[in-house]
Amino acid sequence: MAYYYSRKLTIPFNEVLSKISQTLKQQGFGIITTIDIKDTLKQKLNVDFRNYRILGACNPEFAFKAISLESHIGLMLPCNIVVQQHENGEIEVSAVNPLETLDRGFTTTNLTGIATEVGNRLRTAIDDLHRNVPEPKHEEALPSAVSDENVISPIQG
């Protein structure tokens, strides 16, 4: 399985940022950090770069449970979401797959269960980007490699 979930869209970058914030919220996540790579590279290196944001998403309930089970799991928090604009204008939203990024050395059944649920919710948030009315919960699997058939345009809804 891939270490991330991904979906491409052909709607404006800022609209995608707004939609991912909404779909994450519906899955119990809040955005607690935002890193604007484009702005940072311009300020620090005077480099022009494409739109690229890293959002730190946190579900407090799951974070508390995970940290209670493994005190060093905070090294992997928050869950990162990348929103990036490619040269062809498509906007790609990717979320980490926490089950694949867990160190097998300290994985327990309880921790695996939490990672699975967090991954399902992140995948649902990514999947719901192309829906007019997001579904509260579904298990629709995303492809590990995104192809043209997975590109969503605003009129496909």
pTM value is: 0.79
Model confidence at 152: pLDDT above 60: no
Q: What is the mean pLDDT of residues 71-79?
A: 87
> Considering just the CA atoms, what is the radius of gyration of the chain in Å?
16
- Better pLDDT: 2 or 69: 69
**Domain architecture of the chain: domains with CATH:** 4-150 (3.30.310.70)
pLDDT, position 12 = 94
pLDDT tens figures, 93-136: 999 888 777 766 656 678 888 888 999 999 999 999 987 544 45
Ordered alpha helix ranges (H), 56-107: 60-69, 98-101
Sheet-wide strand order for 30-36? 30-36, 52-58, 79-85, 91-96, 4-9, 151-152
